[in-house]
Amino acid sequence: MTPYRALVYTLLFIGLINSCSKIVTVIRIEPDYPNIHPHLKDTIQEVNKLSKGCLGNLKYAGFMDFKAEFGKDNIAGMANWILPFFEPQININPDYWYKLNSTQKKLLIAHELYHAEKPYIGHINDRDDWGCAEHLMYYQMQSNWCDIYKFEQYVSQMGDCHD
Ligand SMILES: [Zn+2]
């Protein structure tokens, strides 16, 4: 049997347009980005610092055309695991990435890293009285106002491996 590396995708996305939520598991051949993409590196390092080392310890992060892969244009990012050792990696939609501000970039990366490093958590969809997500693992991206208003809370959740 020819050895090859495959990916397990699960716990997709953040829906930017639709609010649909679903879990997709697909096995596919490893795509062509064996390292941390330079356009993602700074944000991953910032999140690693904000999380006091809890997040951002992975070796692979890249961009992916989710429309071409899955026929969906509302996926902002995705965590997946490379077989056979379930090495975590994240993939980001380049169509979104370059339109996000720096707070949104950090929260998107933190969200996907959290999936990658704690796949058993999944999404946490509680909202506060203002309609803002209580946890950075909310299933969708949200208003910039909420991102800023709740940022400190999300940062403390990034570092929850120390709790
Ligand atoms: Zn998610």
Residues 6+ away with beta carbon under 8 Å from 111? 14, 77, 136, 137
Single out the residue of 117, 104, 120, 118 nearest to residue 154, CA to CA. 104
- For residue 92, is it within any domain? yes
- Cα(122) to centroid of ligand 1, in Å? 7
- For residue 72, is it within any domain? yes
pLDDT digits (tens, 9 = 90+) for 97-146: 999 999 999 999 999 999 999 988 889 999 999 999 999 999 999 999 99
Q: At 130, list the tokens.
A: 């203002």
Residues 101 and 23 sit within 8 Å (Cβ to Cβ): no
Residues 6+ away with beta carbon under 8 Å from 51? 110, 113, 155, 158, 159, 161
SS3 27: strand
- Torsion, Cα of 19, 97, 67, 37 (10° steps): -130
Tell me how far the alpha carbon of residue 79 is from its chain's centroid: 6
Report the alpha-carbon distance of residue 20 to residue 119 in Å, rounded: 19
Residues 46 and 158 sit within 8 Å (Cβ to Cβ): no
- Cα(134) to centroid of ligand 1, in Å? 14
Range of the domain at 130: 6-162
- Cα(112) to centroid of ligand 1, in Å? 6
pLDDT digits (tens, 9 = 90+) for 130-142: 999 999 999 999 9
Beta bridge partners of 133: 127
- Cα(29) to centroid of ligand 1, in Å? 22
- Cα(2) to centroid of ligand 1, in Å? 33
- For residue 148, is it within any domain? yes
- Cα(84) to centroid of ligand 1, in Å? 23
Number of independent structural domains in the chain: 1
Residues 6+ away with beta carbon under 8 Å from 74? 13, 15, 16, 17, 18, 20
- For residue 1, is it within any domain? no
User: What predicted TM-score, i.e. pTM, was given to this entire model?
Assistant: 0.82
Range in 4-13, 15-24, 47-56 with the lowest mean pLDDT? 15-24
